[in-house]
Structure 1
Amino acid sequence: MADHTHDTAPTQFVEASGIRFAYRRFGNPDASRYPIVFFQHFIGNLDDHDPAISDGFATDREVILFNNTGVASTSGLVPDTIEQMATDAGAFMDALGVTSADLVGHSMGGLVAQQVAIQRPDLVRKLVLVGTGPRGGVGIGEMPAETAALFGVTLPRQEDMWLPVLFAPTETSQKLGREYVERIVARKDRDASPFGEQVFAGQGAAIHTYGTTKDPAYAILKNIKVPVLVVNGTDDIIIATINSYILQQFLPNAELIIYPDANHGVHFQYPDLFVTHTKLFLDR
């Protein structure tokens, strides 16, 4: 897959634990660098990943994108716990023959990536957590009704729903958000598999339980021994930015980057900076 890019890599399938996982794998299989596996946000699928980020990493390492159980073109029912999502993700990586990788988790995907690091530490070399938080974090799973409503809008171009969810309301951020949307709609054979109510219900239940199950002193984070890079924007309205500070404070080996004038999709707003800073973290 070294000749493919984000927009040309074919969708492939692999069976694991009775699930037929959809994935795309491309980039430079440099034996000196670990593959990078992306964990997707709430109701996101393969085609909501940013080509500018995927291709930025693919210049010198393998990139793996996948739909977890029950999402879009992957079979099964969406689990209603983060723990089971992590179990399924581990089975997917096993089926691909990935024995260790760097994980990038955004939002709900960051919850799942943390849980993989806890349940399957053998699979994780380094962890990048974007716009996410710890188990029992501040406001996680308790989204205000007006914010939750942003996910249910119907638009002529549905991808435009991400503008108020992922980007700040400022003129600059919204402009960069529109550029992100143009990038993600550029792929000609986008995954048109519909999202049913089960995706919303399963993922919503998983996030609610994970967020409202309090972990005194965030003790569970001590089980994540690998180096972690935490990234967020100044005003994340989906998983409050304070949770990124909590991750950095309570993880044993974590550092934090906060980008200005940014919301929940900070890495989509600053893809070049994100790739540059993350590579510095991964390569040292």
Structure 2
Amino acid sequence: MTGHDVPAPVFARAPDGVALACQHRGQGPPLVLLAGQANNHHWWDDTREDFHTVRSTVTLDQRGTGDSDKPRGPYSTAQLADDTVAVLDTLGIERADVYGTSMGGRVAQWLAIRHPRRVRRLVLGCTSPGGPHAMERDTAVRRLLAQPDPEAVREALADLMYSPRWRAAHPGPYRTLGDPRMPAHARRAHLVASNEHDAWSELPRITAPTLILHGDQDRLTPPGNLELLATRIPRARTRLFTGARHAYFEECREEAAALVRGFLTEEE
């Protein structure tokens, strides 16, 4: 699909009336792809085609991003999960596989907890359970992301997303560094939603078969969170990608996509 024939988004309505832009592409059973904090659906532009041999893909611009409404906060990851259900309802999808990365993985946790009948299989990438049990990024990373210069922050984020070797071979542009159209209030609301996420006590309620993925060099969301999630989600499987940073799904694209496809289609 080229830039000239990408279909216009469909709009769903969240429970509170917020308009949510969503995109459904490809053929076959649906796979919902949930993007990271302060990013729109373009987070998945470089990789969503990898799943179209076995699934159609559904993305959305979470509230505050892309073509969706950008109301004042507060937002929460549980609210964003309910927004995703509104998208499924609008598209007439009763049940879907769900793959969430970074903050999208936090949203995916609540989707599987609060709406278990809607989630067939669950993939969580570069994410954490949140709250006091999570393994937090170190102080140096926090300082890098708190710099007053937006370009310095963007460069720091690119370095946290991708290894120098991968960036040298893939000079960009990168689609994972934030939605440039987001207003400041929506960025703050996304940050608060991600920071206040805490699904620890509810994770054992997840019934969907679950695969948890992470890069072993991830400083944005430390890889120790993979095992923390695995101890809480019944029968979860895990895979750690050697040498990959936060955006393992691009840096280890071929291996990661094949692993997800295999997980989604086994026993079919």
TM-score tier (shorter):
0.7 to 0.9
- 1:43 is matched with 38
Question: In 2, distance between residues paired with 1:110 and 1:6?
Answer: 28
- Shift of the 8–130 alpha-carbon distance from structure 1 to 2, 3 Å rule, reads farther
- Shift of the 151–184 alpha-carbon distance from structure 1 to 2, 3 Å rule, reads farther
Per-residue displacement from partner, 1:45-82 (whole Å, max 9, x unpaired)?
1222242x211101232111110122121014254211
Equivalent residue letter for 2:165: T
Q: Is the 8 A contact 1:79 1:85 kept in 2?
A: no
Equivalent residue letter for 2:187: F
Q: 1:113 aligns with which of 108, 115, 138?
A: 108
**Given the alignment of the two structures, is residue 13 of structure 1 paired with residue 6 of structure 2, yes or no?**
no
Question: In 2, distance between residues paired with 1:87 and 1:147?
Answer: 32
**Given the alignment of the two structures, is residue 88 of structure 1 paired with residue 70 of structure 2, yes or no?**
no
Per-residue displacement from partner, 1:193-246 (whole Å, max 9, x unpaired)?
7111112210111122125xxx7xx43211111111100011211111100111
**Given the alignment of the two structures, is residue 172 of structure 1 paired with residue 165 of structure 2, yes or no?**
yes
Q: TM-score, normalised by structure 1?
A: 0.81
Q: Is the 8 A contact 2:54 2:265 kept in 1?
A: no
Question: In 1, distance between residues paired with 2:182 and 2:20?
Answer: 16
Where in structure 2 are there 5+ consecutive unaligned residues? Answer: none
Question: In 1, distance between residues paired with 2:4 and 2:159?
Answer: 25
Q: 2:193 aligns with which of 206, 212, 228?
A: 206
Q: Equivalent residue of 1:43, what SS?
A: coil
- Shift of the 232–8 alpha-carbon distance from structure 1 to 2, 3 Å rule, reads farther
- 1:251 is matched with 233
Q: % of aligned pairs identical?
A: 22
RMSD: 2.8
Runs of 4+ in 1 over 6 A off after TM superposition: 158-161
- Shift of the 183–133 alpha-carbon distance from structure 1 to 2, 3 Å rule, reads closer
- Report how far residue 154 of structure 1 moved: 2.5
Equivalent residue letter for 1:173: W
- 1:188 is matched with none
- Shift of the 249–7 alpha-carbon distance from structure 1 to 2, 3 Å rule, reads farther
- Shift of the 65–6 alpha-carbon distance from structure 1 to 2, 3 Å rule, reads farther
- 2:259 is matched with 277
How many aligned residue pairs are there?
260
- 1:189 is matched with none
- 2:61 is matched with 67
**Given the alignment of the two structures, is residue 57 of structure 1 paired with residue 51 of structure 2, yes or no?**
yes
Equivalent residue letter for 1:55: E
Where in structure 1 are there 5+ consecutive unaligned residues? Answer: 186-191
Q: TM-score, normalised by structure 2?
A: 0.86
- 1:240 is matched with 222
